[in-house]
Each structure stands twice: as C-alpha cells, then as structure tokens.
Amino acid sequence: MKIMVIDPITTKEWLPRNRAYFERIADEGTEVEVAFLEKGPKTIETFHDVVYAGPEILRIVRDRENETDAFIINCCSDPGLYAAREITDKVVLGPTETSMSVALHLGFKFSYISTLKKTAPRVRLQAIQLGLESRLASVVNVNITVSGLEEDPEKTVQAVVCAAEKAIDRDGAEVIMLGCTGMAELARMVRDRLNAPLIEPALVTFKMAELFVKIGLSHNRAPGKMYSLAEADKIVGYV
Amino acid sequence: MKIMVIDPITTKEWLPRNRAYFERIADEGTEVEVAFLEKGPKTIETFHDVVYAGPEILRIVRDRENETDAFIINCCSDPGLYAAREITDKVVLGPTETSMSVALHLGFKFSYISTLKKTAPRVRLQAIQLGLESRLASVVNVNITVSGLEEDPEKTVQAVVCAAEKAIDRDGAEVIMLGCTGMAELARMVRDRLNAPLIEPALVTFKMAELFVKIGLSHNRAPGKMYSLAEADKIVGYV
Amino acid sequence: MKIMVIDPITTKEWLPRNRAYFERIADEGTEVEVAFLEKGPKTIETFHDVVYAGPEILRIVRDRENETDAFIINCCSDPGLYAAREITDKVVLGPTETSMSVALHLGFKFSYISTLKKTAPRVRLQAIQLGLESRLASVVNVNITVSGLEEDPEKTVQAVVCAAEKAIDRDGAEVIMLGCTGMAELARMVRDRLNAPLIEPALVTFKMAELFVKIGLSHNRAPGKMYSLAEADKIVGYV
Amino acid sequence: MKIMVIDPITTKEWLPRNRAYFERIADEGTEVEVAFLEKGPKTIETFHDVVYAGPEILRIVRDRENETDAFIINCCSDPGLYAAREITDKVVLGPTETSMSVALHLGFKFSYISTLKKTAPRVRLQAIQLGLESRLASVVNVNITVSGLEEDPEKTVQAVVCAAEKAIDRDGAEVIMLGCTGMAELARMVRDRLNAPLIEPALVTFKMAELFVKIGLSHNRAPGKMYSLAEADKIVGYV
Amino acid sequence: MKIMVIDPITTKEWLPRNRAYFERIADEGTEVEVAFLEKGPKTIETFHDVVYAGPEILRIVRDRENETDAFIINCCSDPGLYAAREITDKVVLGPTETSMSVALHLGFKFSYISTLKKTAPRVRLQAIQLGLESRLASVVNVNITVSGLEEDPEKTVQAVVCAAEKAIDRDGAEVIMLGCTGMAELARMVRDRLNAPLIEPALVTFKMAELFVKIGLSHNRAPGKMYSLAEADKIVGYV
Amino acid sequence: MKIMVIDPITTKEWLPRNRAYFERIADEGTEVEVAFLEKGPKTIETFHDVVYAGPEILRIVRDRENETDAFIINCCSDPGLYAAREITDKVVLGPTETSMSVALHLGFKFSYISTLKKTAPRVRLQAIQLGLESRLASVVNVNITVSGLEEDPEKTVQAVVCAAEKAIDRDGAEVIMLGCTGMAELARMVRDRLNAPLIEPALVTFKMAELFVKIGLSHNRAPGKMYSLAEADKIVGYV
C-alpha cells in the first residue's frame, strides 16, 4: 500500500521531518510519500491561501494517482478535498473532516485549537457542513502563526495546553482536536500534560487512509453524485 | 460608481453579450466593467473547476481594486468569494449567497434550478453554510451543460420552466432561483411562463452591489474576523 | 416610483423628521410617503403592542396600494408583515427580515442591539423563523425605552456603542444590527465610533424596497402559497 | 376553577354548540365560559385574519382576568397567544402550541391536517418556533374552508380520514393532529376510523389548562422575560 | 383510574414517603400504586445505572398492565421509556420527556437542575432527541448525589435555588426544571424562593398521565411504528 | 492487540461463523475473541430487546477488560454503548456510531438498510443524537427479521440490493450502510451488485477499534464528563 501525503504548501524544508513523522506512524507494509507544492502558499492561514494551494494539489493527485492508493491533503483547511475526489478513484482524506468525525466517538463535545483567531469562523463553517456544529464546543486560538509554531516548541506546547484547558473548563469540551497539522510533532508533549483525549489530525487521517484502503472503501463517483468525474480538459492555461 | 463583474471563466466570446446585459440593468451613473480569466476553466460545473478559477479571480481583484467600488463574482458556485473579501475593502458579492438571502423575502421555500444533477450536493452545502437549508425546497436540474445552455435557447427555456414547475408542484417551492448565471439572458422568457417569483442571480447580485456601495456598507475586515486581511506575499509562483 | 413608509405607531410628532430621513436616503426619482397610525400603540416594545398596530397597518396598505409601489413597515418587530403581503401585489418589507438577511453578506455572525431586555426572545424567534439563528451571535439591550431613545441622543449613542462592543468582544459578533428603527438618525454617530459594519434597518429596508421595485420582483401570491390572497370581507366591525 | 374559552371569531351562532362541547369535557368542578369576538374575522384562515382577531382577544383577557383561572385561545393559529400572556398572570394556552408538544409523547412524527393548502407554511413556522420541525412529518389539507367544515359533516370526516391516511402511509406520520378547532365535534368520528392517535386540539388544550391551574403552574412574567408585563396605557384609540 | 408509579431503583425505604406524595397530588378517584425494583440500581446517576434498571421496569409493566391505566417511570433519565411502550397499550410517561415539553408553554428557555456534573451530556442528548435543544438554556448541577439529596434538605434547597438563579441570571433561563424526581418533596421550598416557574417532574408527569387516561389518548402501536409490539418470548434467561 | 467482539444476543450457534468472519478481517497480530450473552434476547429488533441485552454486555466488559484492548458491541442498535464506556478505560465502539461517521467521508448523504420497518424511528434518533440527521437520506427496510436474514441468502441479498437502489434513486443516497451486523457475511455479494460505497458496520467498526488501539486514543473518562466512572457497587441483584 502506498499513501501520498500532500503538504499543500511550498515550505519544502519541512519535508524530511514530515516524511519521518509519517514513516514512524505507518503500518508495516505501508509506503509513504510526501509531496510539497511547487507553487502556492508558504503556509495556509486564510481562505486566500487555500485558493492558491488548489491547482497544485490537483496536479499532484492527477500526476500520481496511478502509483498511489490514498491521498492525504495534510492541512486542517482541507483545501481542494472535494475537488480532488472528483479526479481520482483513490481515497482522498482531509484532516478536519476525518478528525471531527472521530471526535464523535471519544466524548460529548470537542474543541478545536487553532493558530489564529481569524480561523474560528472557517472552522465553524466546516463543522456546519458536516452537520457536527452541535458537537463543537469552541474554537480556541493560541495566537501563533503556522510558521511560528516550531520557533519555540516549549512555548507552543504551553500555549496549546493552556487553550485546551480553557476549552475544557470554560466551554465544556471533552475532546481536544489540534487545529493545524504543523502541531503534529508537538502533539505527544501536549498529550502528556492534558487530561482529555487529544486528536492529532495528521496521525488520525493517515491511519484512516490505511484503513479505507485495507477494506476497499472509497468515495461514490457515479455520474450525478457529489464526487462524479470532473472534466480535466476544460481547464485553460494550467499544465 | 464602478462595478467590476468577474466572469470566472475563460470563454471570452461571451464578454460582449455579458457586458451589454449588465449595462442594461445598471443604474444611471453606474459604470460596468466585465473581466474574464486569462487562465482557468472554460465553464464552472464542479469543485475541480472552482479550484482553477480561484487564483485569477484574486489577481483581478487585487489588480483592479483601486478603480472599483464593488466586485461581483459572476458564477453560482460563488468561487473565491470569501478569499476575495480578505484582500479588498471593497464590496464583493456572489450570486448564490445573495440570491438565497433575497429568496427569504419572496415566499416560504425556494428551489434552485441547476444545470447538472451533480450540482445538488454543492448547492445544499451552500445553503447549509448560510443556515438557510430549511428554506431550500429542492434542487432540480435541467441536465444541460453550461456551454449547452445557449445552443438551443427555446429548449433551455422549456427545460427550466419544466424544472421550475416540478419544484413548485412536487416540492412546494414558492420562489425559483436560477442556478447558473449563464441563464441570465433567458430569464425573461422563463419569467413570462412561470407563476412564481423568479430570481435571476446576476441581476439581483449586481443591483445589491450598487445598493451596498450607495449606503456605504461593506464586510468586516478587522483583525481576527472572518475576512481580516490575508497576507498576499506568502504566495510563491503566482504573479 | 413611490414608496410608502408605514410607521406602525401613533406618535405623529416624529413624522416630519422621519419623512426627512427617508427623503434624504431615497434615490432620485423615488417619491416617499410616510404614514402613522390613527389608532394603535405609541411605540412598539411588546407582543401586545404589535397586536394593536396590526389593523391600522392593513388599512393603510389597502387604502394606498393603488398609488404605491412598495410598503415598508418601519418597526423591527415586523408587525403585520405576512398579513400585509396577503392583501397586496406590491412589495412589502420589514426591517428585521431584511436586515438579518443582509447581515449574512457582511461577516460571520451578527448581534442585534435591542432597546429592552425583554426583546431578546422575540428577536431569537424571528431569527429561528428565518433559519438564521446560527448566525445570531447575541441580542444585547441598552435598557432605554423607544420613547427614551432621543431624550439624550449622546447617551443613547454611547449605550449603543457600548452594547455593540460587548457583542463584538464577548459574543464574537462581526456585524451589528440596530434593533429599533427609532435609532435611525443616531446611526451615523454610532457608525463613526464602531469598528464593524453597522446595519441601520430603516435605511437598508428602504433601499431594498427600491431595488425590488426596480427589478420587478415581488412575493408569490398564487393560490395555496404562504401569501395568497386573504379575503378582506370576512372581517366584521373594522372599516 | 373557571376556564374561559375565547373563540377568536365573530360567528356567534357556534357558541351554544361550542359551550356544550367544553362543558362535556370539563372536569367536575370546572366552570366553563365561552366568549366570541364583537369585532374581528368570521373565521381564521390567514395571517390577515389573525391580525383582526388580536385586539378583541386582548380586550376579553383584560376584562375577564379577575374572574378566570385560565384562558384558551381556541384557534390553531394561536392568535395573540404571546401578547395575552403579557397582560395577565393567569394561564393562557393555544391549541397548536399545546398539541404539538403533546404529540411528542405519542409517536415519532406527527402530521397536521389543515383546512386549506395555504396554511402549511404557517404551520411549519409554528413548529420551527417551538423547535419541533423535525417531528412534523407533513401538513396535509382537506381543501375545505373553516365555515364549510360542518356543511356536510360526513364528507368532512371522510376528507380528514383520507388526509390522515395519506400522512401515515406517505409521510410516515405516527400521530395525527387536527388543524382546526372547528373539527372538534367531528373528532370522535374520525378517531373511530383511524389507526393512529388523534389529537383534538380544543380538548387537549382545555384539559391542559385545567392541569396547569390545578398544579399552580403559570408563565414567567418577571421583568425582562418573554412575557413580562406590557404597558396597556400605551394604546391609543382602542377601548 | 389507577396509575402505577415505577420507581426504577431498589431503595425501598423511600416507598412510603413516595406513595404519600403521589396520593396527595392525585385527583379524587385516581388510585395510586408505587413499585420499586427487586433488582437494579440503588439510585440512577449514570448510563450504567439505567441499563440495570431496564429489565425490572419491563417486568413490572408486563405483570401489572392489566390492572393499570397508566405507568410513570419515575426517574429523569426516562429509563426504559420507549421499551415499555412497546409492550403495553397503556399510557407510559417519563418525567424528562413530559417536563421538557411542558416547559415550552411557560417561557422562552428552560434550564435543568441536575444532581451531578456528569449528567449534563445525557440531558442535552435527551433534549436533542426531542428536538428541544434550542430551548434548553443550560444544565446546572448542585453537586449532590441522589442519595445525598435528603440528607440535609435545607442545604439541598439552597443549592437548588442557587443553581436555578445561576441559570436565570447567567444563562437566560425563564423556566426551571428540577432534574431529579428525588427533589420532589423539596420542590415546594424551592418554589417559594424562586422568581420563575418551577417544574417538578414527578408532579407534572403524574398529572399528565391522568390527563391522557381521561381523554383516551395513547401511543401509536400499529405495526411498523416506533412503539409497535415487541416479541416478549425472544428473551432468554429472564423471568 | 486483543479485540473482544460482544454479540449482544444469545443465539450462540452463530458464534463459529462470526468468529471466522472477524479473524478473516483482523490485522495480523490482532487476536479476536467473540462472546455471546448467557441471558438476553435471541436477536435485537426493538427497544425492548436492547433493554434485555444491557446487563450481560456490561458483565462481559467488566469481566474481560483486563485482557482486552477494545470492545465492539456488535449490533446496530449500539446497545449499552455509553454505559460500557463508563466502566472501562478501554476503547468501546458500536457499529452505528462508527458507520454513520465514516459515511461522511464517502459521499453526500447515506441511507440505512434496516431489517424491519419499525426500526426507522430508532435509526433517525441515533442520527439526531450524533448531529448527522441532515446526512441521512433515508431508512429503507427489507422486511426480513434478523433471524430470517440467512434463511435464504440469495433472497436477502436481492432484497438489500433492491432497498439500496431505492435509496439511491428515490432518496438521493450516495452511500449505503447495512443496518444489521447479521448482514455482514452477505455484504460482499451486495457490494458486487451495487454502484455505491457499501458500509458493512461490523467490518468498519472492528478496523476502527484496531486503529484506536494502535494510536492510543480512547474516551474521556475524567470526572464530570459523559463517560466518567459509574459506581458498579450501586447495583443490587445482578452478579
């Protein structure tokens, strides 16, 4: 089984560490590939950044689908998720869709720890789309940019723990979802200090992709359905 | 007042007719400009097409915002709507967001006449995001592609009227919303044959943009809000 | 075009100022007429007051519909709105229905600044009816009666700004809707002090009425629909 | 205990039969009084009719509250219900609010048998306000006016049974609610032919009023609450 | 009329006081019987306790249905409520289902005063099932176990009043529902100190059961419906 | 890793086939154990049956939790799911909770193929509790009892395929969820004839349990949370 992780950003210096992370969590027998974008945003923090990540995500899916069993779009905005499903029969998962549904099994309500305050409406809209808004206790931000998350890991961990405790004590959260895949490598440190289940979205999504491939489950792509085939040759000016 | 209509597709042969349409409906004193994309989809029918329309929409907004009072993104998928609001203080409206909210005033439930069957889930998700799903009676398709809408106008008009009547009789719709701005010029013929209010989204959205400019109302772009400023210089490889 | 503003109260001394306000905001070519009630409540603050405003609103609509293109029922309780639509083919708009739907375009959630605390449940019910409750961040009151709003304008403006800031900071509102058309003339002063879009309902509703008339859009009054014709001659004892 | 039934219409020839009905269902020791309006609609079928019923309903409540323990506003539009609660400490119930909540105990979903097709949106809005829309299977009409219900009782009974069976078989209803208190006296005949619980709203509401009085439960009328005191002296031109 | 109150716990020493309570509130002519469980939980505070109460509740219903007109399952978890309705044609009511629907008539939102903090998610799920979540202002606990409620009645009353006032002042509740039938006998003392309607669930449910029997209304038990007959002989190992 | 499958019924003759099924789908290194009940229902088709399955499910969880990493309660009613989570730190999953959340990733709406018509309200309530009702297209039954499913496998497969096609064509389902774990072994034959993703709940739930154990994720059992510890010694008369 081969799983392709698409990091929908251009900051390629994060590639080695990122690949190592996924290789560590992969099942024996799962091959991991990690791709970054040639063109697009350095990090994703806005609707604007999501727009610029889109075309390259789809190019990678199209280029690599023959040799891949499942794609993960490794950003909590789930950029291009529905579009990617329109151009491949392979499994395509996004961390927020996956994590929010997994949260249902772990406790009553979950909170989402975001990087910036501005993210909250986007997260609520994602939850509303999935029908899960009534299970979203709150979105609490740590006020650190994505690129700043790893500058001072200890400070980030403290900020995440503090936000999570606010979510638990003030908002009644029973489950904590990290709201940025850039927090993946710090998740273990957060988990040790937290008295609640912690969802690390990159981890959960990767394992779910393995699961879907193993049991042969994929998206409905019949004509007339949400993810039915998009005609690629309608696009002008993109290779 | 100057309003820029962005047709988020590359099919420039539609430009003259399109410009004529908006000039006809503009208030005296409103200047109209119409822009098509240099790169992107020929028409928009899928999530995939929306992705490829995005970067050029934002480029146009950025290039032209100094000389423009309001932008309309003239496609019922509302592509790039939230992202565009992040990069300009000017009004930016999309036809589905505008039309669905106007439908509230005209009758109890509305139906959306789409081109293709595949569109229905996307429309329901848009309604869910706005909180208006309980007012959406149904999505009924005419099974004609966007580019086919004007091939045989009489046939298209018949198909739209037939779909609308199904929505009214079978689904209890009291208001009909055309689900593609490519149906704009046929709207009058549809209206004449229909015993229900008909929302032509391009028309409604253009007039609403004039209204917003006139009364000086625009989106909240304060820090930490949904549409707060996106940093443009984070993007690599796009001009 | 002629628009009739129905102030559904008996406090006629507000007429000149009110007429001046609408004349100032009207498009060139729009004729404004303002009517107050002969019988009914001095101001509207309760369900009880709404009841007593109803018959006279309908009488005015019936008496004046021939010479009028659109009616505005100028009170945020939207008294008699649905009933008025049952007796005329002309456009009839109410400030809360209109403003809540316009708020959708300006930011994620909106708050409603009410006069009295008692108003909050009524406002929530209005939002629930429109399907927009998930976009209503809060209802915050200034604890000033309608008739007291203009006693000390500066104090009222301060109270409104203070309530709006509470809505923004505490409740996450991105858009502020004034909750009484009696605040119309103070809106400009509030706007200058507020870092968020401010919806003045009388203004928005009047301009929307102009828009509806211009593009020829009105309510569905076909038999069996929500606003189908009410039989006027079933009423006994009212002229 | 004394319960006042307000028939919010002017068709006083129905009074004797109506009084007999309530006297038959009253507990021993419950005194029944029935009042019709001096001014207002002959029957209630529209939002318009509701408006004209309002002032007289409130007059009766105000005039008679000293000698009364509970009021029933005996029409399925629940006209003036919230307003009446603002002017008396006594229990005030309306048949739709009461019946929809009782339906929760009898089966999964209920359907509402209305007189005219036009009624359906109003009923859905009532259910939405109460939060019970997900339990409303459908609104099915018999296409008979209120005043026509008793013209040919057997025909009405057949039409109601037929509509109820459609609701059960087609819409999955498990409980049937009659949608007009004018059907009260025919309810028994309907019940005999129907294989589902039948809610006769006048009956259920009257018995619930007795229950509330017996256990001393009434509405919250504290300052700032939904039903807090309305100032009666703000009304001009009504006695 | 005979009503059987099933106290779904094994703490039989509460029987005499409990029977006295119901006899005091019963209508003249209503015979009361109170049954406790032979096997099961001492008190009900968890989903776990609910499980162990179930088989005995059903045994009692089955054993006693011939001589009974209505059953009350006297615990706010409503244990076994739907199951009991599957095995008898008699009325079966549970205090939370009944009380939440009665709360609709008394004010805008209600709060639920629970014993332990852990109860809140269960209560929210009950409200969600009934469709009434939007009317549930909050769940506030007194942090006293069920068996501790009567240890120091004055302390319990104070804690309940304090929790109710928090619900009213902080959460906007207009109606207070006691969240444990073990608080029944203290309800009067709470009511005297509270400026809001207080729902004592055991009382309301008992009176509602009388009402249902009087007017001959019961659950839909036709084949294929929610409460259609369960086959008792499928059970192995229970008598 | 050891996973315990609890078949919450007493029909032990299904054990060998059932164990073989789970052994076939288990990851290498996962040990499977299958337990049936000593006492309880032969099959589960009603709320009543669920009640009688409960105590034994909890007994097995308690008896076996030391030697087990995760429990599956292998019935689509998810009997005792929340209660079991209150008495163990190990993962406990139920097929409907798991399958409904997995359905979110595969297409827009899903339908549930039930055995009997009576099941539909229970399924809707489960979806409502999870917040996923808006994604549930329909519940379609095959009108075969659980014990009848394997009597004529080909007939059952045909009935399931026919029900699924009705769900797809009539109700707009994009994903099909089998609504009984007794259909597990027939799933492959259904899948071959169906043009839509098919969720076999026993399979999905077992693999999800493996996933949760692998990544160390379990339910929140802190004090005051939904699944916090239930006191086992409060139970009388059960061993």
Residues B24-45 have a mean pLDDT of 97
What percent of the residues of chain C are helix, what percent strand, and what percent coil, each to the nearest 5? 45, 15, 35
Q: What is the pLDDT of residue B162?
A: 98
Q: What pLDDT digit, counting tens, does each position of F179-209 carry? A: 999 999 999 999 999 999 999 999 999 999 9
Does B120 contact F at CB distance below 8 Å? yes
Q: What is the pLDDT of residue C239?
A: 76
Residue contact E105–D203, C-beta within 8 A? no
Residue contact B225–C107, C-beta within 8 A? yes
Does D172 contact F at CB distance below 8 Å? yes
Size of chain A, expressed as the number of residues it contains: 239
Residues E213-220 have a mean pLDDT of 97
Residue contact B128–F108, C-beta within 8 A? no
C-alpha–C-alpha distance, residues F80 and E48, integer Å:
8
Handedness of CA C122, C123, C128, C131 (dihedral sign): positive
Q: What is the pLDDT of residue A186?
A: 94
The kind and range of the H/E element at A41 are strand A40-41
Supply the pTM of this predicted model: 0.97
Q: Torsions phi, psi of A127, nearest 5?
A: -65, -40
The kind and range of the H/E element at C7 are strand C2-7
Question: Cα D200 vs. chain centroid, distance in angstroms?
Answer: 9
In this model, does residue A168 exceed pLDDT 80?
A: yes
C-alpha–C-alpha distance, residues D16 and D198, integer Å:
25
Residues B112-129 have a mean pLDDT of 97
Kindly report the CA angle at A129 between A125 and A134, in degrees rounded to 5?
80
In this model, does residue C72 exceed pLDDT 90?
A: yes
Q: Decide if A160 contacts A200 (C-beta within 8 A).
A: no
Query: D128 to chain B: which residues are within 8 Å by CB?
Result: 134
Compute how many other C-beta atoms are within 10 angstroms of the C-beta atom of residue A67. 10
C-alpha–C-alpha distance, residues F169 and A220, integer Å:
14
Using left for φ > 0, alpha for ψ between -120 and 50, and beta otherwise, residue F132 falls in alpha
C-alpha–C-alpha distance, residues D101 and D127, integer Å:
10
Q: Decide if F52 contacts E54 (C-beta within 8 A).
A: yes
Which site among C1, C78, C81, C101 would you substitute to test the B interface, given the most B Cβ atoms closer than 10 Å to its Cβ?
C101
Closest residue on chain E to A137 (Cα):
E121
As a whole number, the mean pLDDT across chain D is 97
Closest residue on chain B to C93 (Cα):
B105
Q: What is the pLDDT of residue B46?
A: 98
ipTM of the complex: 0.96
Which residues in chain D land under pLDDT 70? none
Q: What is the pLDDT of residue D239?
A: 76
Neighbours of C (≥3 Cβ pairs closer than 8 A)?
Answer: A, B, D, E
Residue contact F121–D108, C-beta within 8 A? yes
Q: What is the pLDDT of residue E239?
A: 76
Residue contact E80–F51, C-beta within 8 A? yes
Neighbours of E (≥3 Cβ pairs closer than 8 A)?
Answer: A, C, D, F
% pLDDT > 90, chain C: 99
Q: Do chains D and C touch (3 or more CB pairs under 8 A)?
A: yes
C-alpha–C-alpha distance, residues C218 and E143, integer Å:
57
Does D124 contact B at CB distance below 8 Å? yes
Q: Decide if C37 contacts C8 (C-beta within 8 A).
A: yes
C-alpha–C-alpha distance, residues D46 and D49, integer Å:
5
Please, is F15 exposed, middle or buried when counting C-beta atoms within 10 Å of its C-beta (0-12, 13-18, 19+)? middle
Residue contact E86–F46, C-beta within 8 A? yes
Please, is A154 exposed, middle or buried when counting C-beta atoms within 10 Å of its C-beta (0-12, 13-18, 19+)? exposed
Q: Decide if C212 contacts C93 (C-beta within 8 A).
A: yes
Contacts with E14 (C-beta within 8 Å, 6 or more apart), sequence order = E7, E36
What percent of the residues of chain F are helix, what percent strand, and what percent coil, each to the nearest 5? 50, 15, 35
Q: Decide if F96 contacts F76 (C-beta within 8 A).
A: yes
Query: A134 to chain E: which residues are within 8 Å by CB?
Result: 128, 133
Q: Decide if F5 contacts F181 (C-beta within 8 A).
A: no
Q: What is the pLDDT of residue D100?
A: 98
Residue contact D108–F124, C-beta within 8 A? yes
Taking only residues 56 to 95 of chain A, the set having a beta carbon closer than 8 angstroms to any beta carbon of chain B reads 57-58, 80, 82-83, 85-87
Does B132 contact A at CB distance below 8 Å? no
Residue contact E225–D131, C-beta within 8 A? no
Q: What pLDDT digit, counting tens, does each position of C87-140 carry? A: 999 999 999 999 999 999 999 999 999 999 999 999 999 999 999 999 999 999
Q: Which of D193, A227, B215 is nearest to F196 (CA)?
A: A227
Residue contact B108–D128, C-beta within 8 A? no
Taking only residues 199 to 238 of chain E, the set having a beta carbon closer than 8 angstroms to any beta carbon of chain A reads none
Residue contact B211–C211, C-beta within 8 A? yes
Query: F109 to chain B: which residues are within 8 Å by CB?
Result: 121
Query: D212 to chain E: which residues are within 8 Å by CB?
Result: 105
The kind and range of the H/E element at E127 are helix E119-130
How sure is the predictor about C197, in pLDDT bands with cuts at 50, 70 and 90? very high
In this model, does residue B239 exceed pLDDT 90?
A: no
